[in-house]
Amino acid sequence: MKLLLKWLLSACALLLVAYLYPGVQVQSFTSALIAAAVVGLFNVLLRPVLVVLTLPVTVITLGLFLFVINALLFWAAASVLDGFHVNGFGAALLGSLIYSALMLLVDMALKSVLSR
């Protein structure tokens, strides 16, 4: 149940990113659901590999390169989907930052609601 709720809230967060920032477009709630699932899968499957491969650069930049990895995964998810579009790397960077902040709020809300 928690996974389903987090997926729905992730889609809502993605729609909110598209509403707040014009560099990210989502056509419908269905597209947002699919995009949230793909972004989540990319973060689970590809992110650890990319973090390990770019560890020297991440250490030299004091962890700031992780923002680049997040943006690349956000942009990659948009490139494989039809209803989700990001206008370049800069838009992916800002969109992924907004999405990450919203997902942090979602995680905190779910933790407080489900811990009762």
CA dihedral 94→100→106→109, nearest 10 degrees, is: -110
Q: Which uninterrupted H or E stretch holds 86?
A: strand 84-86
User: For residues 52 and 65, what is the distance between their CA atoms, to the nearest angstrom?
Assistant: 12
Residue 4's CB: how many other CB atoms inside 10 A? 8
Domain holding 18, by residue range, is 2-114
Long-range contacts for 60-69 (Cβ within 8 Å, ≥24 apart)? Answer: 67/93, 67/96, 67/97, 68/93
Cα dist from 6 to 39, 59, 95, 106, whole Å: 13, 31, 19, 8
Binning pLDDT at 50, 70 and 90, where does residue 113 land? confident
Q: Tokens at residue 35, please?
A: 């995009």
pLDDT of residue 86: 97
* Run of H or E residues at 16: helix 2-20
Q: What's the number of domains the chain is made of?
A: 1
Structure tokens at 95: 């969109």
Read off the pLDDT of residues 49-100 as tens digits, 9 standing for 90 and up: 999 999 999 999 999 999 999 999 999 999 999 999 999 999 999 999 999 9
pTM over 0.95: no
pLDDT digits (tens, 9 = 90+) for 23-45: 999 999 999 999 999 999 999 99
